[in-house]
């Protein structure tokens, strides 16, 4: 099995990047990849509970991330959480907080990396 690292740097609303990152990570298993999704910078907003997209035309990704956390590793960067003012309790179930070690490990072992 090959390893895929998907890095999400952009917030969940305004572009399709967050939805595409989640879609690619979620679909990787069908192509014999073990996926890791890593949210950093504005991408950490995708992991928030009870997202309200308002009239943006986008939908929240929290529920999808919670379901996918049973199938893959999902991390958020602790520094990015702090910069964005998001507490651990604000995250959907199944997301792990990383101080950088998980990212280093995922980068070292990845056969493919996708950045959104």
Q: Which of 90, 75, 83, 71 is nearest to 27 (CA)?
A: 71
The structure's pTM equals 0.92
Enumerate domains of the chain plus CATH numbers: 2-115 (3.40.1260.10)
With contact defined as beta carbons under 8 Å apart, do 58 and 52 qualify? no
DSSP 11-32: -SSSSSHHHHHHHHHHHGGGGT
pLDDT of residue 78: 98
One digit per residue, pLDDT tens: the chain, 116 residues? 899 999 999 988 778 899 999 999 999 988 999 999 999 999 999 999 987 666 766 666 878 898 889 889 999 999 999 999 999 999 999 999 999 999 999 999 999 999 99
């Amino acid at each position: 099995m090959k390893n895929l690292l998907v890095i999400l740097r952009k917030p969940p609303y305004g572009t399709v990047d967050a939805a595409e990152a989640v879609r690619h990570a979620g679909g990787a298993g069908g192509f014999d990849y073990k996926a890791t999704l890593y949210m950093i910078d504005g991408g950490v907003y995708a992991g928030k509970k009870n997202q309200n997209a308002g009239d943006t035309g986008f939908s929240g990704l929290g529920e999808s991330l919670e379901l996918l956390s049973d199938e893959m590793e999902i991390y958020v960067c602790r520094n990015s959480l702090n910069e964005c003012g998001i507490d651990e309790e604000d995250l959907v179930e199944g997301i792990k907080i990383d101080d950088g070690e998980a990212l280093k490990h995922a980068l070292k072992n990845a056969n493919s990396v996708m950045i959104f």
